[in-house]
Structures are given as structure tokens and as C-alpha cells.
Amino acid sequence: IAGITQAPTSQILAAGRRMTLRCTQDMRHNAMYWYRQDLGLGLRLIHYSNTAGTTGKGEVPDGYSVSRANTDDFPLTLASAVPSQTSVYFCASSAGGGADTQYFGPGTRLTVL
Amino acid sequence: GQNIDQPTEMTATEGAIVQINCTYQTSGFNGLFWYQQHAGEAPTFLSYNVLDGLEEKGRFSSFLSRSKGYSYLLLKELQMKDSASYLCAVVSNDYKLSFGAGTTVTVRA
């Protein structure tokens, strides 16, 4: 089934540890995005990539890094996790980087203790 | 910055109509999306408006007034499965989505 997959589904992590959230899409979409969703705040953009080989910062990029080595994969890395990074993380993709509809993965629930 | 406001919660009866309002003040405007999100799941696309007026899609309709910075999502003939959060998102000048905090709709029998 075409779409976006994320791994892991959930994770409990000790503060200070490094963690990579994985995202893969098979729709050959050019643009990919990482959001975090916190209660009462809605979805906030962390990083994005308009095409393979390029990345950009969103609204809340501090403490996170991304890479886009190919079209399909867009991993999000927390170099040294902190409790404020406890959240639900959604990866999304769209055909182009404009106003094209974004399609979301199932999310990763991350708890940093 | 972006400012997108929508009510936190709404409750309605099965078979009724509910209107979810969204007002926005953003850096430019390139369209407005509505997404549905069931608890513990991913947001799914409902509608996209870029021109003023009403877009109807089955039981769901979305309206946009760019001059007023206002949109609403209308859910008709409510069903229990419509209990979910509804997210308003605006495409700003840099073509990035800014989301409201979402409106949780509870449908009661």
C-alpha cells in the first residue's frame, strides 16, 4: 500500500541520548516535512525538504537535524534529547513544495525522561 | 508570526450540523486546508480552498473569505465516526503550512 511509514511507533528515551526517527515514502513526492504535535499547540514544522539534497528550517528547528540523501527517506535526529522534546512526531510529504496537499505518516510517540 | 484561531471543543448530536470556524492572520496567503484527525492517528486531508466561496464535498463543505481572514468547515448529517479533531491550516507566503490548535468535535447519540 502506497504511503508514508514511520519508525519506531513509540519510544521512551533517557535525556542526553541520541535518537533518529525514520520516515519513508513511496509516492515519489519531492517535498517532505517533520512536525511535532503537542496538546493545545497544534502541529509545528521542525524541518522540511523541498527536494532530495536540500533541507530547510521550520518554526521549531533547535535540537533537531535532518538529511535528505534520496527522494524516499527523510530521517529526523535528536542529537541529545531533552524532556521538552517529548511529543508526537509526524512526517509528511507532498508532490511539490508549494500548496500541494500534504499526506501524513502514522506518527512516532516519543517520551524523553 | 502566524495567528490561527479555532474553537477548542464542540459537541453535537448525531444527525445534526456543526460549523467549525477558523480565523487567521498570516504572512501572506496561498490557500487554506482542513484536516481531520482521529485520536491517536495521522491527520487526513479534507479540503483545500484558495478562492472565496463554498466548496462542497459530500457531507463536508468548506467556506473561505480571504478579505475577512475567515473560513469554516461545515459537517452535515453528523455520524459517530465524525468524532475527531479538525485542523485548520493556512499556506503562507513561504508556502509552509501553519496549523491552528485544532477543534475537537464530539458527536453524541
**CA distance linking residue B90 with residue A52, whole number of Å:** 25
Is residue A111 classed as helix, strand or coil in its secondary structure?
strand
- Average pLDDT (B75-98) is 95
pLDDT value of position B27: 82
pLDDT value of position A1: 56
Put simply, the chain B residues between 9 and 48 with a CB less than 8 A from any chain A CB are 30-31, 33, 41-45, 48
B31, B42, B45 ranked by CB distance to A107: nearest: B42
What DSSP string runs through B74-88? EE-S--GGG-EEEEE
Digit-coded pLDDT (tens) for B59-69? 999 999 999 99
pLDDT value of position B105: 98
Are B96 and A43 within 8 A, CB to CB? Answer: no
Are B48 and A101 within 8 A, CB to CB? Answer: yes
Digit-coded pLDDT (tens) for A11-62? 999 999 999 999 999 999 999 999 999 988 889 999 999 999 999 999 999 9
Query: Which of B85, B96, B103, B104 is most worth mutating to test chain A (most A CB atoms within 10 A of its CB)?
Result: B96
- Average pLDDT (B93-107) is 94
Higher pLDDT among residues B105 and A98, named by residue: B105
pLDDT value of position B1: 62
A1 neighbors A27 (Cβ within 8 angstroms): no
Q: Name the residue of chain B whose CA is nearest to A37's CA.
A: B101
Distance from CA of B15 to the nearest CA of A (A): 28
pLDDT value of position A2: 66
All cell numbers assigned to B88 = 485548520
pLDDT confidence of B28, banded at 50, 70, 90?
confident
- Find where cell 525514520 sits: A22
Q: Is B75 part of the contact surface with chain A (CB cutoff 8 Å)?
A: no
Are B42 and A105 within 8 A, CB to CB? Answer: yes
**CA distance linking residue A58 with residue B12, whole number of Å:** 36
A42, A97, A99 ranked by CB distance to B99: nearest: A42
- Find where cell 541520541 sits: A18
**CA distance linking residue A34 with residue A40, whole number of Å:** 18
φ/ψ region of A40 (left if φ > 0, alpha if ψ in -120 to 50, else beta) reads left
Distance from CA of A18 to the nearest CA of B (A): 25
pLDDT confidence of B93, banded at 50, 70, 90?
confident
pLDDT value of position A65: 98
